[in-house]
Structure 1
Amino acid sequence: MQLDLNVILTGIAAPIAVLLVKTLLDFSISHYLVKWFSWIPVRGFFRDHPNDLSGMWDQRWNAAGSPNFQDDLDRHGHAIIKQFGRYCYAEFAAKGRQYRLFGKIRGNYLMGEWYDVKDKNAYFGVFELRIVSGEAMDGLYLGHSTRTSNVGQDTWKWTKC
């Protein structure tokens, strides 16, 4: 009986690669992995079929009493969600600032964190969005700011374009 070394190495390399990617997603480098590798179809690797949220979204949030975002246009924008398995990444702008969103799909919810790209401690928080369908999400966000010690919270609605 002969052993085919190529078959053995291929059989070992694939599960190791999947475990490596899964482990890296648990560290802060995961934001960049999802951003750069969202084009790779991984749904079959993890035997997981989360909702497909990738694509262009229209998103609008309420101001939570913030004097900086009083105008409705300041709280409205577009974001492209990039998805890698259960992990989602998006960037959006508000009043000339770039914000980043990173989350994980758990059941019918997308939960995670958002923050100012240039200064992660300036304005940041967490969110929980209920996935109503592949075309709509709605939920809440919590926000921290260097302007005040109060924690703000309000609604956040997403509609697929």
Structure 2
Amino acid sequence: MRPFIFILCLILSPLWGEEDSLEEFFGSRFALIPPSKEDEKAVFQAIQIFFERLKTKNVTEAYFISTSTHFQGTLSFEQFKLFIQRLLELKYQEDLAKGSISFSGSEKDKALYTILLKGNKKDEKFYVELSLEKQEEEWKIVNIKIYQIYSVTHKLLLNNFLWKKYDTDYPT
């Protein structure tokens, strides 16, 4: 028996329907260029502030200040609160080290970052993918995706990854 990783994916993304295949999903992420040092610092700061607001359970500011107008127009505050409750159920460790944030790509005034968070349980890990865009000189969140990782053993699936969405995708 070999260990395999099953990834459960909770998706909160107004843009998800535009990605019809894995090729499009990964192609859009790998075709992007690194941000400038100044933009990278500003994006990192925006991400830290967003998670700090979640840590202090200030969901109102996380929604109305950290997210873009497009995000707010697509997803109601009530739906956002339900999503955040699901994220907080994962009980991630509060410290957000710069090493846990990795650049996934950017283009003019847009950036994609992946954050590795560790849960309270031993070896529990999950990734949060944030798409951000520059809006009135500030970086705002456009969409959020959460990938929770489980290690299991299964002898029939060799070197495969299974992505499965939670039952609650937003928006509907």
Taking structure 1 as the reference length, the TM-score comes to 0.38
Which structure has greater strand proportion?
Answer: 1
Structure showing greater radius of gyration is: 1
Which structure has greater helix proportion?
Answer: 2
Taking structure 2 as the reference length, the TM-score comes to 0.36
